[in-house]
């Protein structure tokens, strides 16, 4: 059975097994909370054998004490959005945001959380939706999901004692799906604290909230995994939990056994739209960094070095002569960007930031984005087998980066040459209209060939092979022959697709 990621919602059509989306703002408010278990055998019970006693000692007796402690900090968030009715192809999320990409990827059909659009006064359309949140200070600052309050004309919160207050949006960050809201008029709201450390895999967790409108529902589970990448964006680093959560959990906190917030609920993985024990929460360290900036400035600024990066696969590591497949491979430094000014070059592997090892490309993005623009950082770089340190002054991450369009043209091709061992037909770039003056253009890719399996497409431009620039198909052939003669199993090609550049490790045919 196929699975999908589905949003929380108040109402929604049944999800199809092949569809998925994030917990949506239309969900009824629900919150994840973890309770501290009480351990040990129950009193006044018959004596147990040592084996039975050991089994009983590892079983929690209840979570009531922690529920009483943290439940008052949890709030329901209700929003109203006025405007034109949406269609089946309209996304409820900001253009270019991680949530919008989820929506585009899986489609709108049957997504739980897509609100009905009733007719409002004078023919205007409006939608109502609910999510969750939690107070982080006594004066009414609260955290929820960006997709819960995005484009809201009005926001109301309901506290655990049933009182309703008007709230305003202080700021939001679509890239992490976090938002900060504020309720005025009181300075004695019960609030929750963010955890200083991430939980361990296997730690107990507890959910308290309003799934499907059933307020005050409590469910328990454990942390199933950490560091999950669900394809929402470059900063994916989710906690996975198995505490049953359903429609309505968006924006709710995940508490540890000490009553501290370890994460904020944002997505579930489900074939039906209901809980199957796989949910994702934004870690507390990300929440702390983002919310602090939203409180101070209303927006989030991120460090930026200006490079296109990709993971170091085993094949790429072998091609570069690296001992292990870790770090982030620089496909292309942006012209006049911070990295280029510091001397970072295409083909460099960024192995550390300020002395801390870089696991992969996603880890590098997270490290850099968490630093302030203007900061000076030291990048440990591996270049052609040797290590060096470069100092980069971070820029500010551009807020509106355009997506690269695929280049290439089918017209004006001449001088085409086949490369049978790869399944490619190539031509000099200056012979292909619109391809530029550098490199060799892919004019045809044989179906099922090594090139096709490595993602080559018509219109791609091969810039260099094995670290040497190429300007015609003969250069590509010679580079492949040299790699084969040198006993290499693969050769690294730098390939440009539209405005994006990447490295591809292509196997050398020894037959």
Q: Could you list the active site residues?
A: 147, 177, 250
Q: DSSP string covering 186-230, please? A: -S------B-SSPPPTT-EEEEEE-GGG-TTEEEEEEEEEEEE--
- 486-511 residues labelled b (16+ CB within 10 A) or e (exposed): eebebbbbbbbbeeebbbbbbbbeee
Strand blocks (E) in 67-120 = 74-83
Continuous segment of H or E residues that includes residue 309: strand 307-311
In whole angstroms, give the CA distance from residue 160 to residue 62.
21
**CA quadruple 204, 225, 114, 299: dihedral, nearest 10:** 100
Strand partners, 383: 386
Own/partner contacts of 319-325, CB < 8 Å, gap of 24 or more, are: 319/488, 319/490, 319/491, 319/492, 319/505, 320/347, 320/349, 320/382, 320/385, 320/492, 321/385, 322/349, 322/382
How far is the C-alpha of 366 from the C-alpha of 372, rounded, in Å? 12
User: HEC states along 19-30?
Assistant: CCCCCCCCCCCC
17, 103 contact by CB (below 8 A): no
- Residue corresponding to tokens 């009005």: 154
Q: Which residue has the tokens 């004596």?
A: 47
Spell out the SS3 assignment of 170-191: EEEECCCCEEEEEECCCCCCCC
Query: Dihedral of CA 421/427/429/432: which sign?
Result: negative
Decide: helix, strand or coil at residue 78: strand
Q: Cite the DSSP H helix spans in 321-472.
A: 338-342, 361-369, 450-453
User: Measuring CA to CA, how many Å separate 507 from each of 414, 422, 454?
Assistant: 27, 8, 10
Q: Determine the distance from the C-alpha atom of residue 270 to the mean position of all C-alpha atoms in its chain, rounded to a whole number.
A: 18
| Dihedral Cα 326, 332, 336, 337, nearest 10 deg | -40
């Amino acid at each position: 059975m196929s699975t999908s990621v589905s949003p929380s919602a108040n109402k929604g059509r049944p999800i199809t097994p092949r569809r998925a989306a994030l917990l949506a703002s239309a969900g009824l408010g629900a919150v994840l909370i973890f309770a501290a278990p009480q351990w040990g055998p129950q009193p006044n019970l018959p004596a147990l054998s040592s084996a039975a006693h050991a089994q009983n000692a590892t079983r929690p007796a209840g979570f009531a004490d922690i529920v009483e402690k943290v439940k008052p900090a949890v709030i329901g968030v209700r929003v109203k959005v006025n405007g034109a009715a949406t269609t089946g192809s309209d996304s409820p999320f900001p253009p270019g945001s991680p949530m919008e990409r989820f929506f585009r990827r899986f489609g709108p059909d049957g997504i739980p959380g897509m609100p009905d659009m009733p007719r409002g006064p004078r023919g205007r359309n409006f939608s109502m939706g609910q999510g969750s949140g939690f107070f982080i200070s006594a004066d009414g600052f609260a955290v929820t999901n960006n997709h819960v309050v995005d484009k809201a004309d009005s926001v109301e919160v309901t506290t655990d004692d049933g009182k309703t207050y008007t709230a305003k949006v202080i700021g939001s960050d679509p890239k992490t799906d976090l938002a900060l809201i504020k309720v005025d008029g009181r300075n004695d709201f019960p609030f929750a604290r963010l955890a200083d450390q991430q939980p361990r895999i296997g730690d107990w967790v507890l959910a308290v909230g309003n799934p499907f409108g059933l307020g005050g529902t409590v469910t328990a589970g454990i942390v199933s995994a950490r560091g999950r990448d669900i394809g929402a964006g470059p900063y994916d680093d989710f906690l996975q939990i198995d505490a049953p959560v359903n429609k309505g959990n968006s924006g709710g906190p995940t508490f540890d056994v000490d009553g501290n917030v370890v994460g904020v609920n944002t997505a579930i993985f489900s074939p039906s739209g209901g809980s199957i024990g796989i949910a994702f929460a934004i870690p507390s360290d990300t929440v702390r960094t983002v919310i602090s900036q939203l409180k101070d400035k209303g927006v989030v600024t991120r460090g930026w070095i200006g490079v296109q990066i990709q993971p170091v696969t085993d094949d790429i590591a072998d091609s570069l002569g690296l001992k292990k497949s870790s770090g982030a491979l620089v496909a292309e430094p942006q012209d006049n960007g911070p990295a280029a000014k510091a001397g970072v070059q295409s083909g460099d592997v960024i192995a550390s930031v300020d002395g801390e090892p870089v696991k992969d490309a996603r880890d590098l993005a997270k490290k850099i984005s968490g630093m302030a623009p203007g900061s000076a950082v030291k990048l440990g770089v591996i270049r052609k087998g040797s290590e060096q340190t470069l100092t980069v002054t971070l820029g500010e991450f551009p807020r509106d980066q355009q997506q690269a369009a695929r280049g290439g043209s089918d017209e004006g091709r001449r001088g085409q040459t086949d490369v049978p061992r790869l399944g490619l037909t190539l031509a000099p770039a200056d012979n292909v209209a619109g391809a530029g003056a550098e490199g060799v253009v892919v004019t045809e890719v044989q179906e099922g060939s090594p090139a096709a399996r490595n993602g080559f497409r018509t219109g791609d431009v091969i810039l260099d092979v094995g670290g040497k620039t190429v300007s015609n198909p003969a250069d590509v052939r010679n580079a492949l022959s040299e790699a084969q003669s040198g006993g290499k199993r693969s050769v690294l090609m730098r390939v440009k697709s539209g405005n994006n550049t990447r490295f591809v490790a292509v196997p050398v045919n020894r037959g």
